[in-house]
Structure 1
Amino acid sequence: MIRDILVNLTQGAERDPAAIYAASLAAEFQAHLTGLSVTYEIDVPPFYMGALPTDFIDQQIRDNEAAAAKATAQFQAIAGAAGVVSEVRQLSASLGEAAHTFSEMSRLFDLTVVGQPDPDRPGPEEVIAETALMEAGRAVLVVPYVQKPPFSIERVVVAWDGSRASARALAESLTILHRAKHIEVFTVRYAGEEENPEGVAAMERHLAHHGLKATFRQMSISSGESISSAILNEVSDQGADLVVMGGYGHSRLREMVLGGVTREILDSMTVPVLMAH
């Protein structure tokens, strides 16, 4: 059951897609919605302090306080319009402290919602989203910065690779999957790898025990092709409203340096993605 939802409030934006989506999700499940509004502290290395004018630092502090206040007011209006019971928790902290605190908070919520970073407006969302995914121990639902439709669950693509992270994402998505009209389990394998009919049968049996029925599709790609591109293309072809997948099967550092499916999806996602690590 989804009865308690947490959302990180986007700072400095005219519109907060994550908060809007979270409010519509809370309305769908009649859940309580909590928004975290952060006043980000100025994190200046000590050896730079003397080089920065006091007026500059004071203005940055005022700007950050104003951004947090605006995010709070915006969230309250969104929640009120959606008719959901809500509250705002406020925090004054550095980005690293805020990300860690948000992750700890997430452990006592049924679902955590964060916004995808906007490449044209750098902000804290990337650090918040990735830290929550790695540290929360719960599913994290990432909302595209271009998201406009409210929560909808007509069609879902479950990107399945049999990993621990995929299993956790599937388990945490079951409540949402029960609202879906069409579920597709999508597996990508490299050319030369054998198909796994036993795995398909096991997945079909597991979903059936939960009263769920899905279609299954496996795609073979060459070694030079991208798994993330295959997933995103399938999502587009299916007109999916949501993707369910594991996150960071490799270490986050490896994916940051070498790239990986999780980072590529987070950079290029076009629909909300529910991830678990």
Structure 2
Amino acid sequence: MIRDILVNLAQGVETDVACDYAASLAASFGAHLTGLSVAYEIDVPPFYMGALPTDFIDAQVLENQAAAEKAAARFSAAAAAAGLSHEVRSLSASLGVAANSFAELARLYDLTVVAQPDPDKPGPEEVISETVLMESGRAVLIVPYVQTKPFTAERVVVAWDGSRPAARALAEALPLLHRTKVVEIFRVVTHADDEDTAGTEVARHLSRHGLSATVRKLPVASGESVASAILNEVSDQGADLVVMGGYNHSRLREMIVGGVTREILNTMTVPVLMAH
């Protein structure tokens, strides 16, 4: 069961989609919700220190502290209004230190919720989300920056590639899958006529947990986008959630040449539960 949820609190936004979604998730499971609010310190390279006035740095520090306090207050008000058991944890650190600290903290929570980076509003979300995914050892639920609906998981697509990250994601998603009406095991295959029993085996495993799942295979030609195939299936099925492994290849390789995880993180339209 999901009893303990952690969420990274956004700053400088009108609506904190991760916070709102995490609150609805916590309410659904009767879970305790913890929000982490970070007052980001200015990480200035030594050779730039002399070029920045001290009063500018001090003003920026105060501004960041005020933003963190505002995010914490907004979280507390929303959690209290929803009748949730909740707490705020505060941290003052540079982005790199904060991301690593958040990942360490996430190891002792059932589920961690973060927001998808908004390309039109650069912020710390990309570093935070990728670090917690890679370093926490737990599943991470990433919420699209355009998300408006509260938590629901009536229709779920499990993107199964047989990898270790996919296996971890499936295992950690089980409490969510028990809230579903429809579970689809989605397999991307190279040729439609290839013998492929992996999806059937996943469905067999889920049946032992009292879950019924259908299996769908989609042949994708070499060079075609697997991420697009997954997202198209999500759209066609009207899915509420995707479950998949993250960074089966190295993160550096995906940053340089692209990859399924990177493309999903950039173009996702529904919440995605990932594990590495």
Name the TM tier (shorter chain): over 0.9
Q: Which residue of 2 aligns with 1:155?
A: 155
Q: How does 1:219-238 map to 2 (within 5 A)?
A: 219-238=218-237
TM-score w.r.t. the length of structure 1 is 0.98
1:179/1:116 CA distance change after superposition, 3 Å: same
Q: Which residue of 2 aligns with 1:109?
A: 109
Instruction: Give per-residue Cα distances to partners, 1:197-254, cap 9 Å, x unaligned.
Output: 3x23322221111000011100001112100000000000111000000000001111
**Distance apart, 1:14 and its partner CA:** 1.3
Q: Which residue of 2 aligns with 1:263?
A: 262
Instruction: Give per-residue Cα distances to partners, 1:12-53, cap 9 Å, x unaligned.
Output: 111100000000000000000000000000000011000011
AA aligned opposite 1:31 = A
Please, which runs of 5 or more residues in structure 2 have no aligned partner? none
Please, which runs of 5 or more residues in structure 1 have no aligned partner? none
Q: How does 1:146-225 map to 2 (within 5 A)?
A: 146-191=146-191, 194-197=194-197, 199-225=198-224
Structure 1 stretches of 4+ moved >4 Å: none
Q: Distance in 1 between matches of 2:57 and 2:113?
A: 31
Instruction: Give per-residue Cα distances to partners, 1:114-141, cap 9 Å, x unaligned.
Output: 0111111100000000000000000000
8 Å Cα contact 2:160/2:199 also seen in 1: no
8 Å Cα contact 1:191/1:223 also seen in 2: no
8 Å Cα contact 2:186/2:199 also seen in 1: no
When structure 1 is superposed on structure 2, of 54-63 and 116-125 the one drifting more is: 54-63
Q: Percent identity?
A: 71
1:192/1:176 CA distance change after superposition, 3 Å: closer
Instruction: Give per-residue Cα distances to partners, 1:174-193, cap 9 Å, x unaligned.
Output: 01100001000101112378
Q: Distance in 2 between matches of 1:266 and 1:203?
A: 24
Alignment of 1:248 with 2:247, yes or no, is yes
Q: Distance in 1 between matches of 2:247 and 2:199?
A: 23
Q: Distance in 2 between matches of 1:223 and 1:74?
A: 48
TM-score w.r.t. the length of structure 2 is 0.98
Q: Distance in 2 between matches of 1:180 and 1:276?
A: 20
AA aligned opposite 2:143 = V
8 Å Cα contact 1:169/1:275 also seen in 2: yes
User: SS of 2:65's equivalent?
Assistant: helix
User: SS of 2:175's equivalent?
Assistant: helix
Q: Distance in 1 between matches of 2:185 and 2:124?
A: 32
Q: Which residue of 1 aligns with 2:59?
A: 59
Alignment of 1:79 with 2:92, yes or no, is no
Q: Distance in 1 between matches of 2:76 and 2:37?
A: 11
Q: Distance in 2 between matches of 1:225 and 1:66?
A: 46
Q: Distance in 2 between matches of 1:117 and 1:201?
A: 35
Q: Distance in 2 between matches of 1:210 and 1:105?
A: 29
User: SS of 1:50's equivalent?
Assistant: helix
